Chain A
């Protein structure tokens, strides 16, 4: 089960602006899917390792050799709003600043 409040919280995390109607519908549809999913709660999985990768390889690395970068015009070509040198965005308000690293 997921309620309206949770839907709104998750929508904010996912940066999705949902309409009132979408919020209602989402709450009921997601609850339906979660009902099905929650059947895995009954399984005994205590000593089971999680699988995040099915491939068993390790250490796939790249030599530190540089490759040509894109010409700047090409990098900026698809941007919805670009200056001559970069991608323009509304300034993040100081209060909403996140840590960049």
Chain B
């Protein structure tokens, strides 16, 4: 074994990243009271004595939230605890009505799972905090800045998912979070909307000399509310830590806020103020011991999950990896694709997949294809027309434009707009004209310069407005020139 001496300035570092994700569950009511969940409603219109923390009130857990949490635990291949309990996590903050959050501590609902190539450390249930809205300077509190608390969100059921530090780049973190989001969406347990806060992600970041197994001091990046910010925030923090270490300094354990506008990282809490949460078992709740019936119900509710679907699409249909993952991670696309495939058994799966993931997505953006005028059957028919050479690729794109704008069947649109492939008779005359009009190119083609063929074919395609098959046109030109 050789020892290589390097100074900190030239050493290569690798990031070690773990994620902590909070997922708001899509139940009808809050975690511990009967208030309906809401998003965007008038402030403080979804509260009751329980979720306002009035004296004498008691929490009663929502059975559906527990069902969803069990589904998540199973989907992430966790070990489910035979018996878990809730704790109180004590701290004072205006968005926390009781002065403690009911959460799970040393006996969480599930642990030791996996999603893709990242290990899941634990999955637990808790209640969400309320929302603080900045209200500007207050007249009542002399000159001081005031906030207003809205308790509508307070008490929303949350599942917290903590990964092991198995990620090693910002991009990988973003990619894995996309897989998690797709999985949760497929489970139907959450809206997983990062803008609206139903999916929130913190990252624990440290770096270490490349190739070593040591763990450096980690910092915590709070609440990055989009995939882009997550990746940029982690990248910025990795750079910051590298600069500190190369300068001979030490990374401090702290919580950081990433400002996506400026790219700056600022400290939220100093070390001295680190919290002493005084966790202890919540005496108002009894233990949770999932029964066989509860487990059976959760298991039965599990759909095919994105990771498994991607693997199946790749294996059974021979789709390229990226295409298969896109269809699986955006399960609405996958559903559209599989239903189109089923509508017309003659369509080539890979060609159809490319039409869905490239052409259809280009026209729909983030809109769920179910809500577009393009039906799976119609897209399958269009792809079949292309494969059967009844319509050229570029004309088919025009047909799809029309379908995306106003629906309709492809054959009807082709007929109506005269987009069918030009017939042999029509083509012959056009080929002759093109040869006549491009003597220079003809000469070059004859001399063996293959590239010059493009000018002739291009002229033909222009005249047919794309209603010709490129290969067929080339063949005809060569034949005419006696090169066939």
| A–B touching in complex (CB under 8 Å) | yes
Secondary structure dominating the interface of A:
loop
Residues of chain A in range 31-87 having any CB-CB distance to chain B below 8 Å = 52-53, 55, 57-67, 69-70, 72, 75-76, 81, 83, 85-87
Interface string of B131-160 (1 = CB under 8 A from A): 011110010110011111111000000101
Contact across chains for B129 and A58 when beta carbons are under 8 A apart: no
Identify A53's interface contact among B141, B222, B286, CB under 8 A. Answer: B286
Contact across chains for A95 and B268 when beta carbons are under 8 A apart: yes
Q: How far is the CA of A89 from the CA of B95 in the complex (A)?
A: 10
Contact across chains for A55 and B133 when beta carbons are under 8 A apart: no
User: How many whole Å from B412's CB to the nearest CB in chain A?
Assistant: 47
Contacts of A58 in B (CB 8 A): 83, 286-289
Identity of the chain A residue whose Cβ is nearest the Cβ of B63 in the assembled complex: A61
Contacts of B151 in A (CB 8 A): 75, 87
Contact across chains for A101 and B129 when beta carbons are under 8 A apart: yes
Contacts of B47 in A (CB 8 A): 69-70, 72, 75
Contacts of B129 in A (CB 8 A): 100-101
Q: How far is the CA of A55 from the CA of B281 in the complex (A)?
A: 14
Given known A-B contacts A58-B286, A67-B34, A87-B148, A13 and B276 have beta carbons under 8 A apart:
yes
Identify A69's interface contact among B46, B273, B288, CB under 8 A. Answer: B46
Interface string of B209-250 (1 = CB under 8 A from A): 000000000000010000000000000000000000000000
Given known A-B contacts A67-B35, A98-B93, A101-B128, A91 and B29 have beta carbons under 8 A apart:
no
Residues of chain A in range 10-35 having any CB-CB distance to chain B below 8 Å = 13, 15
Chain B residues proximal to chain A, CB less than 8 Å: 22, 27-29, 33-36, 42-49, 52, 60-66, 83, 85, 91-96, 101, 126, 128-129, 132-135, 138, 140-141, 144-151, 158, 160, 200, 202, 222, 255, 266-270, 273, 275-276, 278, 280-281, 283, 285-291, 294
Contact across chains for B36 and A86 when beta carbons are under 8 A apart: no
Can you list 15 A-B pairs with a CB-CB distance of less than 8 A? A59-B291, A61-B61, A64-B29, A67-B34, A72-B43, A75-B52, A85-B44, A89-B132, A90-B141, A91-B145, A95-B268, A95-B273, A101-B22, A101-B158, A101-B200
Contact across chains for B63 and A91 when beta carbons are under 8 A apart: no
User: How many whole Å from A61's CB to the nearest CB in chain B?
Assistant: 4
Identify B140's interface contact among A64, A88, A97, CB under 8 A. Answer: A88
Q: How far is the CA of A12 from the CA of B268 in the complex (A)?
A: 19
User: How many whole Å from A2's CB to the nearest CB in chain B?
Assistant: 15
Identify A60's interface contact among B83, B91, B269, B286, CB under 8 A. Answer: B286
Contacts of A5 in B (CB 8 A): none
5 closest cross-chain pairs (CB), A and B: A67-B34, A64-B64, A100-B129, A52-B281, A86-B148
Contacts of A60 in B (CB 8 A): 60-61, 285-286
User: How many whole Å from A10's CB to the nearest CB in chain B?
Assistant: 10
Chain A residues proximal to chain B, CB less than 8 Å: 13, 15, 52-53, 55, 57-67, 69-70, 72, 75-76, 81, 83, 85-92, 94-101
Contacts of B285 in A (CB 8 A): 60
12 additional A-B residue pairs with CB within 8 Å, beyond A60-B61, A98-B269, A99-B202: A52-B280, A58-B83, A59-B288, A70-B49, A72-B45, A76-B44, A88-B146, A88-B147, A89-B149, A90-B145, A91-B132, A91-B145
Contacts of B60 in A (CB 8 A): 60-62
Identify A52's interface contact among B85, B200, B278, CB under 8 A. Answer: B85
Secondary structure dominating the interface of B:
loop
Q: How far is the CA of A91 from the CA of B148 in the complex (A)?
A: 8
Contact across chains for A83 and B148 when beta carbons are under 8 A apart: yes
Contact across chains for A86 and B44 when beta carbons are under 8 A apart: yes
Contact across chains for B93 and A92 when beta carbons are under 8 A apart: yes
Identity of the chain B residue whose Cβ is nearest the Cβ of A54 in the assembled complex: B283
Given known A-B contacts A58-B289, A70-B47, A88-B146, A65 and B28 have beta carbons under 8 A apart:
yes
Q: How far is the CA of A57 from the CA of B60 in the complex (A)?
A: 14
Contact across chains for A85 and B148 when beta carbons are under 8 A apart: yes
Contact across chains for B94 and A52 when beta carbons are under 8 A apart: no
Contact across chains for A88 and B44 when beta carbons are under 8 A apart: no
Identify A67's interface contact among B42, B48, B138, B158, CB under 8 A. Answer: B48
Contact across chains for B93 and A63 when beta carbons are under 8 A apart: no
Contacts of B141 in A (CB 8 A): 81, 88, 90
Identity of the chain B residue whose Cβ is nearest the Cβ of A60 in the assembled complex: B286
Contact across chains for B42 and A85 when beta carbons are under 8 A apart: yes
Contact across chains for B65 and A64 when beta carbons are under 8 A apart: yes
Identify B42's interface contact among A64, A72, A76, A89, CB under 8 A. Answer: A72
Q: How far is the CA of A90 from the CA of B144 in the complex (A)?
A: 7
User: How many whole Å from A81's CB to the nearest CB in chain B?
Assistant: 6
Contact across chains for B95 and A100 when beta carbons are under 8 A apart: yes
User: How many whole Å from A55's CB to the nearest CB in chain B?
Assistant: 6
Contacts of B43 in A (CB 8 A): 72, 85-86
Identify B62's interface contact among A62, A72, A81, A85, CB under 8 A. Answer: A62
